[in-house]
């Protein structure tokens, strides 16, 4: 057997092309066999690629790390978007930080009360690649006219807002590189200020298995700022460990008291009312992260 | 980079030892970095190994495929055992088909009504390796005296029983090789006959993401035999896709109507009453497997 590197995360293995996540702290690597590379550009921030995999459809890859695939992007995007939008009784203004694959924005506009979705993605190449090569995730055709694209640093964008947003979705990559600041208290304080008086934020808070310290810290930090903080889970095959956490922080509304009846789940493939009510039921080992402070 | 195979599923990668699952139908491979091989024997059925991984603790490996690891065996074993044992109001006789890692048997004896656990594992080497090298999974010290070990073919064992068991747990490996028959209707018919008149069986029914056809077929076949059939899920990091299904089939009791109040969850790390009530809430894409017959 011979391996040969042919780009970030790419190598040939027994003559076939593979994409392999870098080894993580647990000595684990996931590898996907690749049919072809559809897009590869070096942006100002990172290497952006779209590859066609054998079993997961097309995948968005940043700096050699798979971010999302056609096979299961719907799980992540439905879960990060529908929960806060169903909890808020009348979401009008939505802001998405990150989310360059456009999948979260596409879900948000399913809520008829939504008047605007400000999508703040630092890297225009990610949006360009997604709109062109990932229509199964980003949507076919022109994006909904309520979506406004801002190519800026999310932390700076949020800092300039006050009492504006009903829902802020922090759809970031891992807490390394450009996304690291999106896991820190100063950013959450700015998010709190940017939200309306009954606003809700949600963030992806990493794997409870592989990054329990991140989830624990996010949950604790948000607890210092918001009266209602709820972590929920979804099973996302593409991500290491398969189970992923999202943490919702709210100024007023509690997802355990309201939400499912407003879920716009008609076209969903993952979340319905049933799943909504199940996703907050955390395994014992996850609950324990929040009791031992 | 250079790869060199050093045993089933093992190879060196950049000079380090790795264990890699064979490529699956989705062109996906999971790889674990290995510190050392603790046990390797060729049994009459398969190559049985225990390896010490970098991030998942010790792993039981059959024919190069990781079956379970110290990091998350508790999830699988709690889920396959506690659900049926909590649903049955007074389980006395339990039979486990497979389950050579002894983890399910260890959970079963947590139920005080249980008088015997017949553990039917075809391969004594698996039990030997687990008792010796995987005490975190199999339990420390002598196995509970209620556990009786039978080293035979599970299909033959079950065929000779009638109206005996309160709970039968089918804790098999994937439906290839020795375990294939455990996914077929003749076996389920024998299980039905082996169960008492209010008996319950549960089986691992593979990944809803990677093997939806298996899950769908298991569910449909059991529906032809049992009045109550319920599939439930758990997030198990070691398994490809991360989400795993279990299917419970019952002659009388319905887990949606009873169960959680009898859960012996005191020492559990995954399932408590809350998780019990959440695990039957299936994502839309899983529900759809059962509606389209």
| Domain enclosing residue A58, as ranges | 3-69
Provide the pLDDT for residue A51: 96
Identify whether residues B50 and B157 lie together within a single domain: no
Q: Which of residues 251 through 290 in chain A touch B, CB cutoff 8 A? A: 265, 268-272, 274-275, 277-285, 287
The verdict on A163 touching B (C-beta cutoff 8 Å) is no
The Cα A28–Cα B111 span in angstroms is 36
Same domain, A207 and A266: yes
The reported pLDDT for the residue numbered B7 is 59
> Does residue B150 share a domain with residue B121?
yes
Active-site option among B171, B254, B274, B292: B171
Same domain, B64 and B90: no
**Is there a single domain that holds both residue A113 and residue A244?**
yes
Q: CA distances (Å), A193 to each of A90, A248, B75, in order?
A: 19, 16, 40
**Cα three-residue angle B120-B92-B163, rounded to 5 degrees:** 70
CA proximity to A26, closest of A211, A177, A205, A180: A211
Looking at residue B286, its pLDDT comes to: 97
Separation of alpha carbons A28 and A84, rounded Å: 32
User: Burial of B227 by CB count in 10 Å (0-12 exposed, 13-18 middle, 19+ buried)?
Assistant: exposed
CA–CA min distance A68, chain B (Å): 13
Quick: pLDDT tens for A13-39. 778 899 988 887 788 888 899 999 999
A214 alpha-carbon distance from chain centroid? 15
Position A7 scores a pLDDT of: 59
Please list the pLDDT of chain B residue by residue as tens digits (293 residues).
Answer: 334 445 577 877 778 899 988 887 788 888 899 999 999 999 999 999 999 999 999 999 998 889 999 999 999 999 999 999 999 999 999 999 999 999 999 999 999 999 999 999 999 999 999 999 999 999 999 999 999 999 999 999 999 999 999 999 999 888 887 788 899 999 999 999 999 999 999 999 999 998 999 999 999 999 999 999 999 999 998 887 889 999 999 999 999 998 899 999 999 999 999 999 999 999 999 999 998 54
Phi, psi angle pair for B194, to nearest 5°: -70, -25
Tokens representing B182 are 């455990």
Ranges under pLDDT 50 in chain A: 1-5, 293
Residues A51 and A80 in one domain: no
Handedness of CA A36, B242, B173, B215 (dihedral sign): negative
Kindly report the CA angle at B247 between B244 and B248, in degrees rounded to 5?
140
Q: Are B274 and A281 in contact (CB under 8 A)?
A: yes
pLDDT of residue A292: 59
Residue that finishes a domain, picked among A69, A97, A114: A69
The answer on A249 and A174 residing in a single domain is yes
Are both B269 and B154 inside the same structural domain? Answer: yes
Q: Mutate one of A284, A288, A289 to test the B interface: name it (highest B CB count within 10 A).
A: A284
Q: Which of A69, A98, A123 is the last residue of a domain?
A: A69
Q: Determine the Cα–Cα distance for residues B128 and B195; give it in Å rounded to an integer.
A: 28
pLDDT score for B4: 44
Q: Which of A209, A211, A215, A277 to mutate to test the interface with B (most CBs of B within 10 A)?
A: A209
**Can you give the pLDDT at residue A25?**
79
Per the structure block, which two tokens stand in for A118? 């400000």
Cβ–Cβ < 8 Å for B64, B9: yes
User: Is the CB of B3 less than 8 angstroms away from the CB of A5?
Assistant: no
Name every chain B residue with its beta carbon within 8 A of the beta carbon of A75: 283
Domain co-membership, B231 together with B134: yes
Beta strands B58-62 and A243-250 are unpaired
Residues A143 and A79 in one domain: yes
Q: Provide the 10 A C-beta neighbour count for residue A14.
A: 10
Count: domains in chain A: 2
Q: For residue B12, what pLDDT is reported?
A: 78
**Angstrom distance (rounded) from CA B123 to CA B45:** 7
Task: State whether B175 and B285 are in the same domain.
Answer: yes
Identify the CATH number of the domain in which residue A217 sits: 3.40.50.150
3-state helix, strand, coil in chain B (%, to 5): 30, 30, 35
With DSSP H G I counted as helix, E B as strand and the rest as coil, what are the percentages for chain A, rounded to 5? Answer: 30, 30, 40
């Amino acid at each position: 057997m011979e391996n040969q590197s042919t780009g970030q995360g790419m190598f040939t293995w027994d003559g076939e092309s593979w994409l392999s996540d870098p080894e993580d702290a647990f000595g684990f690597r996931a590898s996907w066999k690749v049919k072809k590379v559809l897009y590869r550009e070096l942006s100002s921030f990172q290497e952006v690629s779209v590859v066609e995999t054998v079993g997961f459809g097309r995948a968005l890859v940043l700096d050699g790390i798979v971010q999302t695939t056609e096979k299961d992007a719907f799980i992540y995007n439905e879960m990060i978007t529908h929960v806060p939008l169903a909890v808020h009784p009348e979401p009008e203004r939505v802001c998405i930080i990150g989310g360059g694959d456009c999948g979260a924005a596409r879900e948000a506009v399913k809520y008829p009360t939504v008047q605007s979705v400000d999508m703040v993605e630092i890297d225009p190449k990610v949006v360009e690649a997604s709109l062109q090569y990932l229509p199964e995730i980003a949507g076919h055709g022109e994006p909904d006219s309520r979506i406004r694209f801002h190519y800026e640093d999310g932390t700076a964008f949020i800092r300039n807002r006050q009492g504006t947003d009903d829902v802020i979705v922090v759809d970031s990559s891992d807490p390394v590189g450009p996304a690291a600041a999106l896991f820190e208290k100063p950013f959450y304080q700015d998010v709190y200020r940017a939200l309306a008086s009954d606003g809700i934020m949600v963030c992806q808070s990493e794997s409870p298995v592989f990054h329990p310290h991140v989830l624990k810290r996010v949950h604790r930090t948000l607890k210092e700022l918001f009266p209602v903080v709820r972590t929920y889970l979804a099973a996302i095959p593409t991500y290491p460990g398969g189970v992923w956490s999202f943490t919702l922080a709210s100024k007023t509304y509690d997802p355990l008291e309201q939400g499912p009846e407003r879920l716009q789940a008609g076209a969903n493939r993952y979340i319905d009312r049933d799943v909504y009510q199940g996703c907050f039921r955390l395994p014992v080992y996850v609950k324990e992260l929040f009791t031992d402070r």
